[in-house]
Amino acid sequence: MNGVTELHSLLASMRPLLSATPFAFATVAALQDVPPFVSILAIFQEDEGLSIIAPFDQIERAELTHSLPWAKISLSVVSSLSAVGLTAAISSALAKEGISANVVAAYFHDHIFVPWDSREAALQVLNELGNGLR
């Protein structure tokens, strides 16, 4: 994959997209502990157990140990996994506004999870960050 690596270009073309779905982070001992109706968005094996990200309502229905709801903001720019500074720039901009951010880098795009109640403010921060460089 030949994604964008230059930080200025990444930020100027990131075009953040807010999902309408609230998500939650949850933990289980093993994948078979997740009921089949849970649409897993991401999985990560940690020493303490398997962490998953899935729609909040599904995780609650499954009665899994989970977080409060989070909003997913996806950056539409195809970023390189070897790009330097994108996570730091986004996290810093959100931190200045007191917004927590959990960044998940996937093969094509980066996805920022912010507290559900901060989703609109976070989207505005990210749009302003990108707009300031265009």
Per residue in 10-59, pLDDT tens?
Answer: 888 899 999 999 999 999 999 999 999 999 999 999 999 999 999 999 99
In a domain, 52, yes or no: yes
82: number of Cβ within 10 Å = 7
CATH number at residue 23: 3.30.2130.10
pLDDT tens, residue by residue, 66-94: 999 999 999 998 888 888 888 999 999 99
State the residue range of the domain holding 38.
Answer: 7-131
In this prediction the pTM is 0.91
Instruction: Assess if residue 83 is contained within a domain.
Output: yes
More confident residue, 3 or 117: 117
CB-side neighbour CA atoms (13 Å) of 1: 14
What is the band of 1 on the pLDDT scale with cuts at 50, 70, 90?
low
pLDDT attached to residue 133: 65
Average pLDDT of span 90-99: 96
What is the maximum span of the chain, computed from C-alpha positions, in angstroms? 46
Say if 76 falls within a structural domain. yes
Provide the number of structural domains found in the chain.
Answer: 1
Examine residue 80 and state whether it is found in any structural domain, yes or no.
yes
- Residue 4 is predicted with a pLDDT of 79
Instruction: Give the list of residues 6+ apart from residue 88 with CB closer than 8 angstroms, or none.
Output: none
Locate tokens 């609650």: which residue?
60
Note whether 60 and 67 are within 8 A (CB): no
